[in-house]
Structure 1
Amino acid sequence: MTKEAWDGTVTKKSRGLLDGSSMYRRLELRLTDGSTVKVRVSRDLWDAVSEGDQVTKAAGEDPVKQ
């Protein structure tokens, strides 16, 4: 978990078995400053969001859907 904070819009959802045994879920987000970032998220959050949804992360906390 990183200590940075951000706010963005989901532009893409992806998942995969990168190491062959664990499922990784990632969101690609367009942040409010216009940059893009890919973040690994929990299964619950990944299931709860769709493209176009807002996601926020407070410093030291897990990302949450707005």
Structure 2
Amino acid sequence: MTTTNDGAWTGTVVKKSRALLDGSNLYRRLKVRLDDGTERDVRVDRDLWKELEVGDRLVKPPGENPRRS
């Protein structure tokens, strides 16, 4: 599964994670189950990551960042 913010989609947060993948930058990721049943890893900013909990709904309009729905 790739980490992507491309395209438009809607889904539900199934997991939150964060990691220092390169040793200096903290990356915040969500695993999102899309409405079609597939899962996608999505990188999000700190504010959105802190706002969301597992089970929350997200929407990603084309050309925009994901947001809570």
For the superposition of Structure 1 and Structure 2, which TM-score range results when normalised by the shorter chain? over 0.9
Matched, 1:24 2:30: no
The answer (yes or no) to whether the contact 1:11–1:27 under 8 Å persists in 2 is yes
CA root-mean-square deviation: 1.2
For residues 42 and 30 of structure 1, the distance between their equivalents in structure 2, rounded to whole angstroms, comes to: 19
For residues 2 and 52 of structure 1, the distance between their equivalents in structure 2, rounded to whole angstroms, comes to: 19
Tell me the TM-score normalized by structure 2: 0.91
2:56 aligned residue? 53
Matched, 1:44 2:10: no
For residues 38 and 54 of structure 1, the distance between their equivalents in structure 2, rounded to whole angstroms, comes to: 14
Residue ranges of structure 2 left out of the alignment (5+ in a row): none
Deviation at 1:3, TM superposition (A): 4.2
Q: Deviations over 1:1-53 (max 9, x none)?
A: 85400000000000000000000000000000000000100101100000000
Total equivalences in the alignment: 66
Question: Which residue identity lines up with residue 30 of structure 2 in the other structure?
Answer: L
Question: Which residue identity lines up with residue 33 of structure 1 in the other structure?
Answer: D
The answer (yes or no) to whether the contact 1:45–1:64 under 8 Å persists in 2 is yes
